[in-house]
Amino acid sequence: MTMQEETLAQNDPRWRKLAAVAFDASDAAFPFARRLARDNGWSDQYAARVIEEYRRFAFLSVAAGHETTPSDEVDQAWHLHLTYTRHYWGAFADALGAPLHHNPTAGGPAERNRYADNYARTLNSYETYFGEKAPPDIWPAAKIRFGDAPYMQRVNRRRNFVIPKNRALPAVSATAAGVALTASVAAQDIESSAAGFVAFLKDNPLILLGVGVLIVVLLLAAAGSASGRKRKGDNAGGAVVGGDGGGGGKSGGKGAGKGDADGDGGSGCSGCGGGCGG
């Protein structure tokens, strides 16, 4: 990296204006970062970092001269910001110098390849303009960006438990082993007849409950796994950047992730600087 490349963003007046834009009033009781954290199950600190990466993505969308695609994390900040219409189309757009629109994808393998290429170019331009690599915990590798993102969805955590599969399966195995061991030891003290075993279960409802819970968890895990294999990507949105005079470039929307049997899966939003075409 040369000194000029390290300071490209800092020397750009658009970045200086954008960096000075606050997302909330200083006295906001429920600020933008807190809402973003709540909606995604993030810490306040992580959400604040994502917002700054979203700010960088928006700048690259108008400055890099090519189509750009954000990470899914950055995309969540973008989606939320779009609901703050006065700010998004006001101070934020004024600082960018051009509107940043969000369009849905047409889907298909061509779109999938397009957004994968956009993502790689975005990461390269990030390093060029900001003099450092994008943080991997917010800008993950493409195989994660286009692999997991299509399966994201909102969950009401007040009504539902959310248990990662890589943690749930060992827990289920441990529960099964524990239930089997408990039943085996206890069975030594009960009659060997069916009637005696039924009586044992009646006297030990917790073991019966454990077996029932184990069966339900296994069924839910199997159903979730089958559903995940069949589910298509969520065609969300993309971006068009440019002024009313036609100076802005055009972009696509949620590009394809791993794809599905029809090649229509999707996950990825894009933007591009004025005049980059599209």
Do 187 and 238 share a domain, yes or no? no
CA nearest 118: which of 241, 2, 271? 271
Do 41 and 71 share a domain, yes or no? yes
DSSP lists the bridge partners of residue 240 as: 250
Per the CB < 8 A criterion, the answer to whether 62 and 99 are in contact is no
Position 184 confidence tier, pLDDT thresholds 50, 70, 90: low
Do 32 and 80 share a domain, yes or no? yes
Per the CB < 8 A criterion, the answer to whether 125 and 66 are in contact is yes
In a domain, 25, yes or no: yes
Q: What is the pLDDT, as a whole number, of residue 176?
A: 64
Average pLDDT over residues 99-126: 87
* Total domains present in the chain: 2
Average pLDDT over residues 145-161: 79
Per the CB < 8 A criterion, the answer to whether 44 and 24 are in contact is no
Q: What is the pLDDT, as a whole number, of residue 71?
A: 95
Residue 152 backbone zone (phi > 0: left; psi -120 to 50: alpha; other: beta): beta
Do 121 and 193 share a domain, yes or no? no
Position 235 confidence tier, pLDDT thresholds 50, 70, 90: very low
- Is pLDDT above 80 for 275? no
In a domain, 103, yes or no: yes
- Angle (deg, nearest 10), helices 32-40 and 72-83: 130
- Is pLDDT above 90 for 258? no
Length of the chain measured in residues: 278
CA nearest 147: which of 52, 253, 228? 228
Q: What is the pLDDT, as a whole number, of residue 173?
A: 65
Q: What is the pLDDT, as a whole number, of residue 255?
A: 39
In a domain, 265, yes or no: yes
Q: What is the pLDDT, as a whole number, of residue 213?
A: 79
Position 165 confidence tier, pLDDT thresholds 50, 70, 90: confident
DSSP lists the bridge partners of residue 237 as: none
Residues 6+ apart with CB under 8 A from 69: 115, 118, 119, 122, 255, 268, 269, 270
Position 27 confidence tier, pLDDT thresholds 50, 70, 90: confident
Per the CB < 8 A criterion, the answer to whether 217 and 168 are in contact is yes
The helix/strand/coil state of 272 is strand
Do 174 and 238 share a domain, yes or no? no
The mean of the pLDDT values for the chain is: 76
Per the CB < 8 A criterion, the answer to whether 248 and 274 are in contact is yes
- Looking up tokens 């000029």 gives 4
Boundaries of domain holding 96: 3-153+234-272
Copy the structure tokens of residue 12: 């750009």
Per the CB < 8 A criterion, the answer to whether 77 and 51 are in contact is yes
Do 65 and 125 share a domain, yes or no? yes
User: Which is higher by pLDDT, 193 or 35?
Assistant: 35
- Is pLDDT above 90 for 81? yes
Do 122 and 191 share a domain, yes or no? no
Q: What is the pLDDT, as a whole number, of residue 193?
A: 60
CA–CA separation, 80 and 85 (whole Å): 10
Per the CB < 8 A criterion, the answer to whether 59 and 9 are in contact is yes
